[in-house]
Structures are given as structure tokens and as C-alpha cells.
């Protein structure tokens, strides 16, 4: 199918893009990599009257060091760049580990970090990983800018806190504390498909080897990324033994997640995957935090 007719605008600066969004409001949609928006338009699931193409807005393409030793990433950074960038590999290795699971190389060549977050697909990897890393998102409109913790950005199925005149412009990731390990794992029916379930874990140990901080975030088991709060509470302050991790993952699968069944997998199978993948992700993250795995 072909999309419904639309007006195409190609601003060359952020100010220009924000002015277009302010003028057209609900009628307009930003176009990033187009890997989700264009198929939706072709199927007429989306029919924006105005497309504001961000691909010429050079201010939104960057990966740089933050003043705190973390990372600042422009929303239009291509997913393929996240996969290959040396600074990402050094300071946010969880993102590098996750990228091969996101779609296929051709899609990652066009798809953007900001587009994946703004699209808020409940099965997408980057929203869960950004929450697990404690990311903050800078949102801008002609009215001003605001920072939103990644954990508060996603409010439901394909829905975020973004207003129609707002753009997600930057993702800020804090530095990883010493003795921190990370892991991402997922199960999908075929490589490159959206995952049935995915799990991202970040664990920081104190000097005694107990969990100073734990984050476990799932994809595919709710209306957005699911933070496994009950499981995290079980581990915080405790030694992450095999038994403790098993219990926490089990708690996550029983209490934190709320999967639904569809043609790809039943709700029960997704719950089972949440248990198994949560355990694997936490085990690997703890091993890395202890320096026992690369
Ligand atoms: C075959 C296929 C398989 C895929 N598999 C996966 C997968 O396994 N995992 C996964 O995570 N994704 C997958 N994707 C989706 C892919 O990662 C998309 O690139 C991503 O979801 C959207 O990014 P985009 O840059 O293409 O955004 P677009 O498609 O351009 O935009 C998506 C939405 O976000 C809005 N938007 C974009 N940028 C901004 C911004 N800066 N501020 C405000 N709003 C904005 C747009 O208006 C639109 O509503 C797949 C896509 C395809 C076609």
C-alpha cells in the first residue's frame, strides 16, 4: 500500500524543526530513521498530514563524553553507530552487547536511538536498556526543554510523555560505578525478529560483594519496558548467590511482569521466559561485576 498524502518538510536546524512542530501540532510527526513510521504510514496505521524529516538536522547526530564521565548521545544517532562506536563500547558496553539483537543490519543503518525510544514498542530493546543504565532524556520544544528519567518516559503501549510539539533530542547515560556488571539476553523466534521476551540487568556490588544497586528491566512482558521492582528489592543489600538470583528472577516472573498471549507465544510461556532470562541476565551481570567474565 501507499501512504495517505502528506506534506514533507526538511528542516536544516533544530530550531526550524521545533518551529514546524509548534505550527502543525497533532497533524505533524517527526521522521527519524523511518523504519517504524514509514511502514505504519504505508499500512495506513499512521496518516500524519505533515512529516518533519530530522535527517538534515546535524545537531542531533553525535556521541560524546558527558561532564560526569558518562555519555551524551544525540537522538538521531543511528543504531549501527551505537553498535560500532568505541566510546559506547567503553562506557555503555550493555548497549553494544544489545545492538545485534535489534532488527537487521540494514534497519540499524537507518534506525535511530531516539526513534526507537520515541516509538515505544513494548518489545524494543533500547527502552529497557536505557532504563537499566539509569538514562535521562532531554526533550525540547519551542516552549523550552525538560529532562525526563528514562524510567518515566514510557507511559503505555507505543506511548511516551512526549507532547506533539516536543522532540526527544538527547539521551544522557551516567558513568558505570566500579564493580558494575551488565547483561542483555532475549529469545526470539528468528534472529532479527522482535523478541518474545528480553531482559537487561545492571548490578553494582559493594566492597563486601553485596548488591549496592540492581536493575532488571524486561521487554515483551507488558505495555512498555517493565522494571522488575520486586525482584530488585529482593537482591538489594544481599549477596547475589545462585539461590538469591534464582529467587529474584522467579519473583520477577510471578509478580513484576504482566505478559499477554498472542499468535507468537502464550502468556505462560512468556512468564517462563521472564524467569529463565532474568536469571541468565542477573547471573552474567554479577559475574562481570565480580570480574569473573568479560
Ligand atoms: C523488519 C523490522 C524489524 C525490526 N526489529 C526490531 C527489533 O528487533 N527491535 C527493535 O527495537 N526495533 C526493531 N525494529 C524497529 C527499528 O528499530 C526502528 O528503527 C525503530 O523502532 C524506530 O526508529 P526510527 O529511527 O526508524 O524511527 P521512525 O520510524 O522514524 O519513527 C518512529 C516514531 O518515533 C517518532 N520519533 C522519531 N524520532 C523522534 C524524536 N527524536 N523525537 C520525537 N519523536 C520521534 C516518529 O514520529 C514516529 O512516531 C524493526 C523494524 C523493522 C522494519
CA 31 – CA 51 distance, rounded (Å): 6
| Cα 31 to averaged position of ligand 1 atoms, centre (Å) | 9
Task: Provide the β-strand partners of residue 53.
Answer: 31
Task: Provide the β-strand partners of residue 141.
Answer: 144
Rounded mean pLDDT, 107-124: 98
7-53 fold: 3.30.43
Task: Specify the DSSP class assigned to residue 259.
Answer: -
Task: Please tell me the number of Cα atoms within 13 Å of 82 on its side-chain side.
Answer: 34
Q: Which CATH class is domain 180-289?
A: alpha beta
CA 81 – CA 95 distance, rounded (Å): 11
Q: Which residues form ligand 1's pocket by a CB distance below 6 Å?
A: 29-37, 39, 75, 102-103, 107, 111-112, 114-116, 118-119, 121, 124-126, 162, 167-168, 194
Instruction: Indicate the pairing of strand 144-149 with strand 154-156.
Output: unpaired
pLDDT digits (tens, 9 = 90+) for 25-58: 999 999 999 999 999 999 999 999 999 999 999 9
Give yes or no for residue 116 having a pLDDT over 90: yes
| Contact between residue 114 and residue 79 where contact means Cβ atoms under 8 Å apart | no
Non-local (6+) Cβ contacts of 184 within 8 A are 94, 97, 98, 101, 125, 129, 198, 199, 200, 201, 281
Q: Which CATH class is domain 58-173?
A: alpha beta
Task: Specify the DSSP class assigned to residue 194.
Answer: P
Q: Sorting pLDDT into bands at 50, 70 and 90, what band is 109?
A: very high
Q: What are the extents of the domains in the chain? A: 7-53, 58-173, 180-289
Ligand 1 atom with the smallest distance to the CA of 167 is 42
pLDDT digits (tens, 9 = 90+) for 152-192: 999 999 999 999 999 999 999 999 999 999 999 999 998 88
Non-local (6+) Cβ contacts of 244 within 8 A are 234, 235, 238
CA 148 – CA 170 distance, rounded (Å): 11
Ligand 1 atom with the smallest distance to the CA of 38 is 29
Closest CA to 50 of 1, 4, 116: 4
Q: Sorting pLDDT into bands at 50, 70 and 90, what band is 1?
A: confident
Give yes or no for residue 293 having a pLDDT over 90: no
Amino acid at each position: 500500500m501507499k501512504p495517505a498524502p502528506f506534506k514533507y518538510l526538511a528542516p536544516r536546524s533544530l530550531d526550524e524543526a521545533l518551529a514546524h512542530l509548534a505550527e502543525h501540532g497533532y497533524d505533524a510527526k517527526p521522521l527519524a530513521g523511518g523504519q517504524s513510521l514509514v511502514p505504519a504510514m504505508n499500512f495506513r496505521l499512521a496518516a500524519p498530514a505533515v512529516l518533519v524529516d530530522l535527517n538534515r538536522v546535524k545537531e542531533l547526530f553525535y556521541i560524546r563524553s558527558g561532564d560526569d564521565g558518562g555519555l551524551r548521545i544525540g537522538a538521531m544517532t543511528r543504531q549501527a553507530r551505537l553498535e560500532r562506536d568505541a566510546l559506547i563500547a567503553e562506557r555503555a558496553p550493555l548497549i553494544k552487547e544489545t545492538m545485534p539483537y535489534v532488527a537487521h543490519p540494514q534497519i540499524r543503518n537507518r534506525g535511530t536511538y531516539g526513534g526507537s525510544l520515541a516509538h515505544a514498542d513494548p518489545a524494543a530493546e533500547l527502552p529497557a536498556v536505557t532504563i537499566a543504565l539509569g538514562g535521562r532524556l532531554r526533550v525540547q520544544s519551542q516552549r523550552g526543554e525538560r529532562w525526563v528519567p528514562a524510567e518515566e518516559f514510557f507511559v503505555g503501549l507505543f506511548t511516551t510523555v512526549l507532547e506533539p510539539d516536543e522532540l526527544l533530542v538527547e539521551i544522557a547515560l551516567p558513568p558505570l560505578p566500579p564493580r558494575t556488571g551488565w547483561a542483555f539476553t532475549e529469545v526470539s523466534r528468528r534472529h532479527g525478529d522482535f523478541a518474545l521476551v528480553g531482559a537487561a540487568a545492571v548490578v553494582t556490588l559493594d566492597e563486601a560483594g553485596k548488591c549496592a544497586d540492581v536493575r532488571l528491566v524486561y521487554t515483551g512482558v507488558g505495555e512498555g519496558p517493565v522494571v522488575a521492582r520486586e525482584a530488585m528489592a529482593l537482591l538489594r543489600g544481599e549477596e547475589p548467590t545462585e539461590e538469591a538470583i534464582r529467587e529474584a528472577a522467579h519473583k520477577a516472573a510471578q509478580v513484576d511482569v504482566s505478559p499477554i498471549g498472542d499468535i507468537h507465544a502464550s502468556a505462560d510461556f512468556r512468564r517462563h521466559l521472564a524467569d529463565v532470562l532474568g536469571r541468565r541476565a542477573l547471573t552474567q551481570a554479577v559475574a562481570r561485576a565480580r570480574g569473573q567474565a568479560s
